[in-house]
Amino acid sequence: MPPSVQYVDPMGEAKKKRRAFLLPVLLLLAGVLVTTGHSGKTPSAIAEAIPSLTPDAGDWPLCSTDTQIGCIESFTIEGDDGVLGAIDMTYPGPDRPMVSAHCRSNSTNQSKCDVDAQTAVIGRVGPCGFEDPALLVINVSWQGHENRKYKLVIRTGDFEPVFSHGNGISATKNEKSESGSSKYTLYGFIDKLQSANIPSSLLLTVDEVKLKEFFETATADSLSYRSVVYVHHASYLKMALPRTSICESVPMKGVWAEANGQYIGFSLQWNGLENAEPMKLNFEARGPHYAFGTAPSENIFVPARIRVFLPKTMIEYLGYGAGEFDTAAIGVTTANNTQATPQITAVSDGYIIDLGIVHYSSPDPVFTVLNKNKPKLETATTTVWSENNYVSQLPILKKPAHQLARNVVITKSSGRASISFVTPSSKMRAQQIVSYQILLVSSGITKASRIIASAAGKKISAAFPAKKSKTYTLKVIAKTRAGYSTSWEGPLFNV
């Protein structure tokens, strides 16, 4: 049966869901990216000489120049001596490691790994824009070499990697240059995966009940040794809160999730900072129940490994200080009542959580992180600024829109800054405000922002997490139907 990957459309406004059958995928590097220079000193020639940061779609080659993007910079893998070493990837063979990095474009621009695309072929353009315009797929395999560590460095250009999932992940890192070009490093290992031959009827219909029933009694009939990792761009973490059109950039940069199941998928849900459980990862982690080379009567099961990495920045965002994040801060439930005993391991830049699932078939765990800020959000607030009728000049058709907002109130509380106001109305269609962008600014730097659609007489509100002892201001940018915009901001205040 040929390898297959199934992509499932996001489920709900604040959920994003992906599934994949992790069957053997062996892709070889091919081709060389040729770059051309420009000469001359005219302005147009200088503009042409500025290199594009958008990489090509398809398989990425080895980097041949220092400035090339959309390519593999380096790959090292653990040898028999236990040391990471480089290999000659130009001569792959059946007994050698194989590696590939591939950009899949989900937009109508099939030639480029275009993260700014707006027209979808796969996925959708939701209230927060194109949710997944491009996706990186990394394959590393070495038959028979279980647990061999590897390090892969790829240059991704303006594709900013923020969230990775798959199998065989140990750590990830993204470095962004001043020019906006990213370099993604994946630390992984060759994973031994046990699989059972799924009947074609189940693959075609994806009947959830029958698929679970199959895995409950299935015995693994094949082994493969590989690590397959899917890498999402920053746009993937921009979500609308449930039952609203309010978009938030979810504070999950650097998070990764990995499992050794044959059939894995997940939906990522962000409920907002005011929710006691702001983040949920709903796994579909499934595999044959009985181990390869055994009989069901022996009761030797396929071991499960399901892990999540949370960076310190996210843990701090949810209100946890040094030494406060422990198993009481997380929750793990399973679909088949499988016992889960999660364990947390602190590493230099965050925490690796093993969900504590012992074996397959279909545990399908749900992983939640509790919001330590929640009790603080319910404390009394202090009004920073109140203005019943806020007036600003907005030149349109030589006549200003006299009112951008009314009943403006800015408040602060422990760990949060909030703003609310009522949108005005205008008899002149061109002056009607269609959207507001609200920014939380500290020392001239935007820390968070939201874009909220407007309608006359609508109450607009937004809340942002804010660190103690920091000085902030809330800035509002109003955009009219005619495309004009203007901004206003409240006073400085400390949280």
Domain over 379-494 is classified CATH 3.40.190.10 = no
Compute and round to an integer the Cα radius of gyration of the chain.
Answer: 25
Q: Which residue carries 């409240």 as its tokens?
A: 490
Please report, for residues 2, 56, 141, the alpha-carbon distance to residue 26 in angstroms, rounded to integers and kept in the order given: 11, 21, 7
- Tens of pLDDT along the chain (495 residues) come to 333 222 233 333 345 555 554 543 333 333 322 223 334 444 444 444 567 899 999 999 999 999 999 999 999 999 999 999 998 777 667 788 999 999 999 999 999 999 988 888 887 787 788 888 999 999 999 999 999 999 999 999 999 999 999 999 999 999 999 999 999 999 999 999 999 999 888 877 777 888 889 999 999 999 999 999 999 998 888 887 776 667 778 888 999 999 999 988 878 888 877 788 888 888 889 999 999 999 999 999 999 999 999 999 999 988 898 889 999 999 999 987 778 899 999 999 999 999 999 999 999 999 999 888 765 444 455 666 666 555 444 443 334 445 667 778 888 876 678 888 887 766 555 567 778 888 889 888 888 888 887 777 777 888 888 877 788 888 888 887 777 777 778 887 787
Number of Cβ atoms within 10 Å of the Cβ of 181: 19
* Every domain of the chain and the residues it spans: 15-373, 379-494
Please compute, for residue 230, the number of CA atoms within 13 A of its CA located in the half-sphere on the CB side: 23
Tell me, what's the pLDDT at 216?
93
Tell me, what's the pLDDT at 233?
93
**Contact, 221 vs 213, CB < 8 A?**
no
- B/e letters for 227-256, b = 16+ CB within 10 Å, e = fewer, are bbbbbbbbbbbbbbbeeeebbbbbbbbbbb
Tell me, what's the pLDDT at 245?
67
Please compute, for residue 342, the number of CA atoms within 13 A of its CA located in the half-sphere on the CB side: 24
Residues 218, 200: Cα–Cα separation, whole Å:
15
DSSP of 406-452 = EEEEEEEETTEEEEEEE----SSGGG-EEEEEEEEEETTEEEEEEEE
The DSSP output letter for 244 is S
What are φ and ψ of residue 481, in 5° steps? -60, -30
DSSP of 186-203 = EEEE-EEEEE----HHHH
